[in-house]
Amino acid sequence: MATIKDVADATGLSRSTVSRVINRHPYVAKEKKLLVEEAMKQLGYTPNSLAQRLRKRKTETIAVIVPRIANPFFSQLVESMEMVAGEHNFQLVVCQTNNNKQRELKYLNLIKTKQVDGIILTSIDNDWEVIKEYTNYGPIIFCNEYDENAGVPTVKLDQFKGGYIGTTHLIERGYTKVACCCGFFNSSLTDDRIHGYRTALKERGLPFRDEWCRTNAFSIDDGKRILRDLMHLEEPPDAVFTGSDEVAAGMIKEAKQLGVVIPEEFGVLGFDDQPIAELMEPGITTIHQPVKEIGKKAMEIMLSYDSKPLNEIVELPLHLVVRGST
């Protein structure tokens, strides 16, 4: 079996030059490259792929950072990423932050220490200036969450549009006191949804009240708690635009406990169009996000990182799905 020394002897070049050609080093003269490739062909030399990966410190592993894997949106997102990665013999490491900044930094450090080849962030807990440092060690891609200041590939949806069309639907259904309940406080995604919500209210001359707008709501229990709080206000709303179907489901369940009739007395609109939206009674009117397409596209960009521009922005469509909760 031919060795790298045999190729060097056949070409009259040093082993280090032959190694640079094999490892696609950019600063090798074209004539030397052709000479090495011809010698490899004649000798039947095949590079040791494992040794190449070790030298390049390639792990064929991608880390996906999520806030809560129990959330069906993120579990579906990861599943679609894994299918694409598996087709290319890559594996995923799923890292759950529970919205903790220090945990996010711990997982970002995986790329710095070369334990993974790239990181996909589906949520953002730290400021971009903190995350930016880690782009020096490998590709980082934003998926779902985004930051306008970040010069990294991003797969996103028009969250302003989601907030706008959702709130507009509630108003067109006859609700005049519309509350808003979204996720991460002070994130671009949440800010854009609330902006869409407020724009729809303003265009139709309806009031915005601070006490009707809640953030940091993610789960069914959060939905229950916030619905109780809203109903106990001096002037409660008559509908709510939420940031997830889980939260919307919690509100519907709590409304039944409180004797509030959905949708006649109170309208509930979700976000994501997860299976729970169709299974609830009544079914949840929601904003459909193409979850599988989001994950698939993000992983495709990651795996073709070497040939893609570093600031690629992909925006996928969303739309309203009307069910019985409005």
**Residue 48: CATH number of its domain:** 1.10.260.40
For 31, the domain range is: 4-56
pLDDT at 141: 95
**Amino acid letter, 89:** N
Phi, psi of 141 (to 5 degrees): -125, 140
Phi, psi of 240 (to 5 degrees): -145, 135
Residues 282 and 248 in one domain: yes
Which of 56, 71, 91 marks a domain boundary? 56
Please list the rounded mean pLDDT of every run of 10 residues in the chain (326 residues): 82 84 77 88 72 61 94 93 90 94 96 93 94 92 92 94 98 98 87 97 96 93 97 96 96 97 98 95 97 95 73 92 98
- Assess if residue 75 is contained within a domain: yes
Residues 72 and 41 in one domain: no
- Assess if residue 326 is contained within a domain: no
Across 35-53, b (16+ Cβ under 10 Å) vs e yields bbeebbeeeebeeeeeeee
Residues 111 and 36 in one domain: no
Residue 231 DSSP symbol: H
Which of 56, 79, 95 marks a domain boundary? 56
Residues 22 and 109 in one domain: no
Residues 113 and 163 in one domain: no
- Assess if residue 188 is contained within a domain: yes
pLDDT at 139: 92
Number of domains in the chain: 3
pLDDT at 32: 87
- Assess if residue 323 is contained within a domain: no
- Assess if residue 306 is contained within a domain: yes
Phi, psi of 254 (to 5 degrees): -70, -35
